[in-house]
């Protein structure tokens, strides 16, 4: 199977597949005489697993550690349970801060529709966007400690 078919079967772009190879998520595949990558059907499983694991919040680095351990025939169960629980905690924290941000943003958006544009004069700020004094102090440390979310947007 060539890279294109593998991509079609798994829903992963060929660019991404080559990238996974580069960072060690996928092993370097055989090449046919013309230099094309050729994959066996087990790679479909592996790639699908990578996708599943990503959807549960694991990073490609973590996924690689799991796959490497399994490849060496070691048990990964404790390791994986640890990762999952860690991600659950992170997810909880993240949702909470996002919800806080949302309620602040709602107040700001509402207030902004009531402001008079002619009051907006400072060239270094916009009156709509200002800290909410009616809200408790923004916990910046919490807001800033959010784990990264990457954009796979098209």
Which of 9, 16, 93, 108 touches DNA by CB under 7 A?
Answer: 16
Binding mask 43-82 for DNA (x = CB under 7 A): -----------x----xxx---------------------
- H or E segment at 38? strand 37-38
> End-to-end alpha-carbon separation of the chain, Å?
26
Q: Is 14 in the site for DNA (CB under 7 A)?
A: yes
Least separation in angstroms between residue 33's CB and a second copy is: 26
Backbone angles phi, psi at 37, to 5 degrees: -70, 135
Angle separating helix axes 60-71 and 77-112, nearest 10 degrees: 170
Cα-to-chain-centroid distance, residue 86: 15
Does 9 help bind DNA (rule: CB under 7 A)? no
- Chain residues binding DNA by CB under 7 A are 2-5, 7, 13-16, 18-20, 32-37, 54, 59-61, 148, 150-152, 154
């Amino acid at each position: 199977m060539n890279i294109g078919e593998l991509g079609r079967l798994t829903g992963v772009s060929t660019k991404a597949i080559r990238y996974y190879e580069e960072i060690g998520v996928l092993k370097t595949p055989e090449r046919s005489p013309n230099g094309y990558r050729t994959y066996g059907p087990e790679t479909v499983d592996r790639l699908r697993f990578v996708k599943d694991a990503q959807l549960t919040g694991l990073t490609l680095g973590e996924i690689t550690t799991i796959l490497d351990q399994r490849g060496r025939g070691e048990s990964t169960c404790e390791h994986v349970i640890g990762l999952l629980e860690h991600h659950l905690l992170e997810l909880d924290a993240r949702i909470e801060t996002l919800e806080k941000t949302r309620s602040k943003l709602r107040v700001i958006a509402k207030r902004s529709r009531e402001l008079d544009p002619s009051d907006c004069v400072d060239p270094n700020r916009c009156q709509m966007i200002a800290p909410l004094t009616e809200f408790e102090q923004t916990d910046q440390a919490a807001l800033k400690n959010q784990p990264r979310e990457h954009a796979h947007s098209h």
